[in-house]
């Protein structure tokens, strides 16, 4: 099998993930996510923007089955995702958390191979194919030569790339990410973001929570704006992220400007206006 075959998601990657009227929360009688609907297409990079505490992380946790949904449905290709067990769900959705340090110094290749867990039998025997897939995923993010290095010795950016390779090895159709690049330095943020954007070309759908409008302008195909448990818009970055909508979202005067960048492209930037008012 060639490398691109190994990297492709296992399940039909043409079907969208359809979320309808999802409700969830932690405390009894208090809903945090208050009925949200969304369609995630494969080959599409979607970003969620929202103020702190608006329910972004709760929404992701519900989608991933970490938190039970109170109402609502999540479907993909006629499969009810919410009723699946952990290992079945892991074949649809893979998760990339915020950067963190694990307590033990696993090697990079060990970490990537953990992505194969949902595909292993009850007795957890790894096959040659499992190893090949893990290797191809590590190569995709460009870290194959660090395979034997302890994961804990890598830089933050490299660690996130390893986690992305792990999620790829899971061969899920959709990648769900919770601020995967917030804690990285400026260079690493965009290097990792570009790697994520490349994955869309392989046929994966990406859903990423971020706090930086620049990330959305840089890579997103679709931007979802979340406020107080609701999605108030889901559109292309140019439509969803205007001066008015972002000022209202963050309660801060901002201006979205379109500027010319080299190669005659037009790029939008978001500039806070607090110092000038």
Partner 1 sequence: MENFSRNHLKLIGIRQRFFVRYWPVLLIFPVFFFFWSFSLGRYPIGYQDLVRTVYLHYSDPSKIIDLNMETVLFNIRIPRVLVVLMVGAGMSMAGSAYQGMFRNPLVSPDILGVTAGASFGAALAIIQKQPISRIQLFAFAGGILAVYCATRFERMIRYDPVLALVLGGILIKGLFNAGLSVVKYLADPEQSLPAITFWLMGTFTDVVKKNIPQVAIPLIISMILLYINRQRLNVVSFGDEEAKTMGVRTKHVRLEVIIACTLITASSVSICGQVGWIGLIIPHLARSLTGPNYRVLLPVSAILGSCFLLLCDTVCRNAFAVELPIGILTSLMGIPFFIIIFKQKASKA
Residue selected from 93, 136, 138, 246 as contacting partner 1 according to rule CB under 8 A? 93
Q: How far is the CB of 255 from partner 1 (least distance, A)?
A: 35
Residue selected from 4, 10, 26, 236 as contacting partner 1 according to rule CB under 8 A? 26
- Cα-Cα-Cα-Cα torsion 84, 90, 92, 97, nearest 10 degrees, comes to 120
By CB under 8 A, tell whether 259 contacts partner 1.
no
CB 172 within 8 A of CB 8: no
Q: Which residue has the tokens 């954007």?
A: 197
**Residue 91 or 215: which CB sits closer to partner 1?**
91
Give, in order, the Cα–Cα distances in Å from 117 to each of 68, 120, 126, 166, 276: 22, 5, 9, 10, 53
Residue 253 to residue 239: CA distance in whole angstroms: 18
Q: How far is the CB of 103 from partner 1 (least distance, A)?
A: 5
**Residue 196 or 241: which CB sits closer to partner 1?**
196
Q: Which of residues 68-87 bind partner 1 (CB under 8 A)?
A: 85-87
**Residue 7 or 256: which CB sits closer to partner 1?**
7
Which residues, including other chains, have CB under 8 Å from residue 52's CB and lie 6 or more apart? none
Q: How far is the CB of 29 from partner 1 (least distance, A)?
A: 15
Residue selected from 110, 139, 195, 212 as contacting partner 1 according to rule CB under 8 A? 110
Residue selected from 107, 182, 243, 268 as contacting partner 1 according to rule CB under 8 A? 107
Q: How far is the CB of 239 from partner 1 (least distance, A)?
A: 31
Give, in order, the Cα–Cα distances in Å from 277 to each of 243, 244, 253, 255, 268: 15, 16, 9, 12, 22
- What are φ and ψ of residue 2, in 5° steps? -80, 170
CB 81 within 8 A of CB 75: yes
Region from 11-19, 75-83, 148-156, 197-205 binding partner 1, contact rule CB under 8 A: 148-156
By CB under 8 A, tell whether 200 contacts partner 1.
no
How many other β-carbons are positioned within 10 Å of the β-carbon of residue 10?
A: 13
Residue selected from 157, 180, 213, 237 as contacting partner 1 according to rule CB under 8 A? 157
DSSP annotation of 34 reads E
Q: How far is the CB of 183 from partner 1 (least distance, A)?
A: 16
Which residues, including other chains, have CB under 8 Å from residue 91's CB and lie 6 or more apart? 10, 11, 118, 119, 170, 171, 172, 173
By CB under 8 A, tell whether 45 contacts partner 1.
no
By CB under 8 A, tell whether 156 contacts partner 1.
no
Q: How far is the CB of 90 from partner 1 (least distance, A)?
A: 3
Positions touching partner 1 (CB under 8 A) are 26, 61, 64-66, 85-91, 93-95, 97, 100, 102-107, 110, 114-115, 117-118, 120, 122-124, 126, 145-146, 148-150, 153-155, 157-158, 166, 170, 176, 191
């Amino acid at each position: 099998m060639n490398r691109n075959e190994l990297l492709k998601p296992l399940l039909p990657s043409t079907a969208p993930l359809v979320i309808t009227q999802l409700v969830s929360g932690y405390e009894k009688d208090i809903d945090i996510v208050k009925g949200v609907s969304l369609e995630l297409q494969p080959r599409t990079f979607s970003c969620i923007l929202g103020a702190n505490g608006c329910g972004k992380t709760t929404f992701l946790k519900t989608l991933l089955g970490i938190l039970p949904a109170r109402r609502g449905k999540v479907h993909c290709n006629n499969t009810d995702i919410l009723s699946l067990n952990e290992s079945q769900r892991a074949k649809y959705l893979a998760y990339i958390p915020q950067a963190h340090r694990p307590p033990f110094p696993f090697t990079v290749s060990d970490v990537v191979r953990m992505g194969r867990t949902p595909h292993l039998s009850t007795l957890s025997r790894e096959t040659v194919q499992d190893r090949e897939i893990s290797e191809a995923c590590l190569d995709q993010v460009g870290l194959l030569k660090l395979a034997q290095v302890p994961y804990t010795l890598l830089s933050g950016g490299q660690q996130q790339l390893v986690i992305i390779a792990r999620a790829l090895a899971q061969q899920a159709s959709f990648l769900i990410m919770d601020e995967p690049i917030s804690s990285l330095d400026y260079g690493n943020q965009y290097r990792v973001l570009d790697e994520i954007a490349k994955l869309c070309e392989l046929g994966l759908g990406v859903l990423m929570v971020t706090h930086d409008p620049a990330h959305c302008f840089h890579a997103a195909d679709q931007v979802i704006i979340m406020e107080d448990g609701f999605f108030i818009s889901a559109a292309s970055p140019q439509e969803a992220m205007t001066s008015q909508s972002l000022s209202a979202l963050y309660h801060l005067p901002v201006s979205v400007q379109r500027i010319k960048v080299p190669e005659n492209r037009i790029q939008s930037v978001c500039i806070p206006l607090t110092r000038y008012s």
